[in-house]
Amino acid sequence: MKPKRYTGYRSYSYLEAGVDYRPFDLVPELGRVPSHTVELGPADEARAGRLLAENIVVSLHDHTAIAVRDIARDSRAYRREGRDWTGYEALSTSGLDAVFDCMMNGANAITSQSGWKWTDTIHDLGQRLADIAHQDMVIVGRAVSDIRRAHRDGQIAFIPALEAVTCIENEIDRLDVLYGLGIRCAGVSYAMANALGGGGREASDGGLTDFGRRAVRRMNRLGMAVDVSHCGVRTALDVVAASERPIVISHVGARALWNIPRLLPDEVFTACAAKGGVIGIEAAALTTATRARPRQTIDSVMEHFEHVAHLVGIDHVAFGPDTNFGDHVAQLRLTRPHLFAPPAPGAPAFEPIDYVEGLENPGECFPNIVRWLVKHGYSDGDVAKVLGGNILRVLGEVWV
């Protein structure tokens, strides 16, 4: 694995705890849970290490923030402070050259209990960028050249992104403001509908609105990648049709393998690929299980990867694990309790997990993904494509 220029920096160490900010008890970046490694023989392990070092590795969607240790007690208060810590030490061993980080814009509740507010989003972005400015392993990624430079120089490009542009409300020019502040990828909607279109958890999806079409056009003109990971199906298809450039589905799984609203049907993947886009496979807890593997593991996640790759071709698939440094399952219990209720008749039921073994946090995902690909006979060329090559191709067409 290629070494990174980590010098021991910890978030906000230029400030004084208890004076400049309220300290919280955070989880350790490394060793929160036992590490699980995909086992290989010596020759394959050496090949996996070489592939991880030689190729540009990009996560299309992750949250590199560190969570509080006691989610139930401290999470809401931590969110209201609006100051997230970045897991620099763990990132230094991740193999990543670039990460699209959606920060915590949907969960930030500085001025509201509901998230997605304009002021909170700008606060979230500004705090993270201020912290990043005080160290030199992570750089802000605004162009493909920044990603290539990070790979060359032992750095990691942090690419600010949003899971939804709900915060722009009905103000189209706010997209320009977000772009000017560094946002290079944004979702159209999250679980709930907004002024642009339908969300993935809505019972009824009216599709892309007229304002949504204007927003997609503006994002195309700006050079901001358009994401439909959390859109309703009709809205996602409308976005693909409306966009003048390829789109991304940054973190998703196949509803054909696990029939839950969070995942998308094959028709959306086919449309995305036909437009030249790329699909990042999700690994967050309680998403990418399958009928054959209702207990989510790296093997169930990779079953989704292979399904999408076989459907649309290896040139249109990548990874957006959607992990963070913390107890994802506990966070879901607090914010998404419906996921733990008895399933409706005929709906699939997850087998309980504490975390997804081998894909638990941004620090361990890609070394294990590469090992899995090597173990299952993927060529060097195909590994290079799914680790980052496909994403770089799309960014070359989308970013200005």
Q: Is the pLDDT of residue 341 over 90?
A: no
Q: Is the pLDDT of residue 106 over 90?
A: no
Say how far apart CA 208 and CA 231 lie, in whole Å: 10
Parse the chain into domains and list their residue ranges. Answer: 42-398
Q: How far is CA 94 from CA 10, 99, 154, 157, in A?
A: 17, 11, 12, 13
Question: Which single residue is written with the structure tokens 């309980």?
Answer: 352
Say how far apart CA 231 and CA 229 lie, in whole Å: 6
pLDDT (0 to 100) of residue 342: 84
pLDDT (0 to 100) of residue 97: 98
pLDDT (0 to 100) of residue 114: 81
pLDDT (0 to 100) of residue 107: 76
pLDDT tens, position by position, 384-400: 999 999 999 999 999 98
Which of 184, 356, 349 minimizes the C-alpha distance to 258?
349
Instruction: Tell me which architecture the domain covering 42-398 has in CATH.
Output: Alpha-Beta Barrel (3.20)
pLDDT (0 to 100) of residue 133: 98
pLDDT (0 to 100) of residue 62: 97
pLDDT tens, position by position, 191-229: 899 999 999 989 899 999 999 999 999 999 999 999 999
Q: Is the pLDDT of residue 330 over 80?
A: yes
Torsion from C-alpha of 47, 50, 51, 52, nearest 10 degrees: 120
Q: Is the pLDDT of residue 286 over 80?
A: yes
Per-residue pLDDT band for 163 (boundaries 50, 70, 90) equals very high
Q: Is the pLDDT of residue 301 over 90?
A: yes
Q: What is the mean pLDDT of the chain?
A: 95
Per-residue pLDDT band for 343 (boundaries 50, 70, 90) equals confident
